[in-house]
Structure 1
Amino acid sequence: MENSFDLPDSTDWLDTPLSLLAPLESSLRCQVCKDFFDNPVITSCSHTFCSLCIRRCLSTEGKCPACRASDQELKLRRNWAVQELVDAFQTARPKVLELAKKEATRLARGDLAPDGPSSPKKRKLDLRPGEGLEGSQSSPQGVRTRSQRSRSDVPGSSSAPEVIEDSQDEDYVPEDGLVNCPICHRKMKNEAVFAHLDRDCPGTPTAPKTKSFGSLQSAARIASHPTTKPPERIPAMNYSILKDVVLRRKLRDLGIPDWGARQLLQRRHTEWMNLWNANCDSKNPKSKRDLLQELDVWERTQGGHAAAPSLFVANNPVMRKDFNAADWSTSHDGDFKRLIANARKRNDAAVRSTIPGASAAHEESPLEQPATTSTAKDVDVSPPVYGVLESNPHANSLNPPR
């Protein structure tokens, strides 16, 4: 059972020195699709999911996937803070993971650190002639640092105070009590300078006056930045009170296909409603063409263009009535043991990285025993079932009734 492709997930950090980033990345992933949050929304029970994922769950069951509490789509609210965290983490993840893997490779080879922690640099003390450390303790003024000596040895520097004329002093007030305007140099009282600058100073640039239309924004700003009306959400419909003709007409009005049986029409409208309303929660909404392409993907995988269920039943040996569960378990026993061994390795690595001192405890744990000692009877693991349909009453049973 080799992996045909490798998907990035939170377990990428377990074999690196930054293994504590695994739970951080896991908390930034949706519990439904296991991918990073895409347009995250928060439910009334304070759980965060992708907007499309939670809408699909609520339209199917009406319950939160995490706590199974009843919820409604109208109570969903966008979570911009989580979206910013996800964007920042996704930007930094490739570079940080690359550095962590390089460090793990270096530690595996046993290489020492190229540079140890550098000690802080010390400035050299400059002792005056005839003075030592003993004299410096009694008279600390005799010891000067190199920076102090360089400042004192600069030619032209003197300790004499700088003399400022009365005309250059900011707090200087003339005898007559009048000050000059900084633009037109007209003499006036100090408290009248600001009013003079605002009203009748000839050198002050005046801004063009704009007409007010009863709004906080000017007419020019409104004309240059036209406000685009956000897309309206599609409300849910009660399909039981709609006839087939009316339902098909509503699908045509929305611009989506209207062919197929009534059950397919309802599922298609529900999927389009979820796609459209989830796009309304996005910071950068997609175009209608992109949403129609996503709906076409749904049609080819789960909708009307999907393969008929009878083909799965005919080609799947698990769905046959004469299916032998004992032979299936014996032939796939090696796959079961390999899955159990991989799960134990990941669990031990996660425990050792999060709990200090847990490596010694796990060496004595019975979970470290070789996977070959366990049999299919000792471990309650069901055989892998591929392509099982929910419509078959014997799909979840290994021993169908004879």
Structure 2
Amino acid sequence: MIYFSEILHKSIYTDQNSYLGRLKDLIFVVKDRPYITKMVVGREKEVVYPLSSLKSINGKLIVSSDVQSTHLDENELYISKNLLDQQIIDLAENKVVRVNDVILQNKPEWYLSGIDISFYGILRWFGLEKSIVSIMKLISLAPVPEVLSWVDIQPLELARGRIKLKLEQERLKKLRPEDLADYLELTNTESIKKILNTMDQQSAAMVIKNLNINYQTELFNIFSSEKAASVVSLIEPDDAADILFTLDKQKRLEILSFLSIEDRLELEQLLNFAHTPIGEHITTEFFTAFPNDTIKEVMREIKNKTSNFEHLNYVYVLNQNKQLVGVCNMHELLLNDEDTPLYKFMITNLVAINLTTPEEIAISKMLKYKLYGLPVIDREKHLLGMITLDSITGFLLEHFS
């Protein structure tokens, strides 16, 4: 076994003592057993030679005098360009680590056996490993070797040289969707698609929901309309509307056609709202009840109908004409007796906005009255949706930072 750092930049001669240059890189084929196939030699320019021409290593590399140049083939990678110093996701530890050195086996055949992610790997490049480690051992601070075997690594993005650990479905579930989305945004759309295909539909949808809008748009354009619709059905309507709004009209209509009538109507409404000041912040994820409903009845309906909600802070009370007449928060529901009807304690002096209310006014009302959310109503006081501090955070950061 040898380390890549131990041979990189070594001089290379033919067996007739002709100087070819210095070792600049090694090339390996991407397989379960990643054999080293070629070496990159640099002098005035870089030349690729087959590793089969290598005869010995003894302070310098000796190759056959009849060595002929070659080229990089498909499914081959450079160690230095594509692995060294690249970040990988350690799913077992839920952290990002860096490749500090590469471990090579050279008997009986050359192949890449793993990577060194420890402090040793850094010291080795400066020729300080033995001396520094000896000193650290004296004060009981010796670093622990950390090595990842090649079987735990999967090259995902050859062009940009980023690598990740193999993403097994059970291990993926240990990562929060927003964390995994952040990691995947370091790759490209094709890589993200491969990872999503290893996950169950619900988990994949949650990751897509947390991706940057540009990646969401690219994925939806790649997906069939039916597959895109399945994702839409698993995420919050306002998040789905944000994605659909970026697509061309034909693609959007095709996706909507695969949804249930209820989901389609809700999304069409949100897409129409998007042309108003408040529209892009509105969510239709809210719960309504009637004045005569008891707390017991309301709590039963909440359990049955809101399992997919991200938050539920308020119950909006509607009359028989579906007009907004009151509101109560979850704290009030818990404090009152379960047989108490809502009209006895609901707040009737409502703070509400409409679709044309400027964002600044909406935020001002939320801060003034210390509200997490505001109902959005039309001229007839019909409830259209609500906005929350979460949904308007982007506007806050942009205008009040």
Q: What TM-score results when the alignment is normalised by the length of structure 1? A: 0.19
The structure carrying a bigger strand percent of its residues is 2
Larger Rg: 1
The structure carrying a bigger helix percent of its residues is 1
Q: What TM-score results when the alignment is normalised by the length of structure 2? A: 0.19
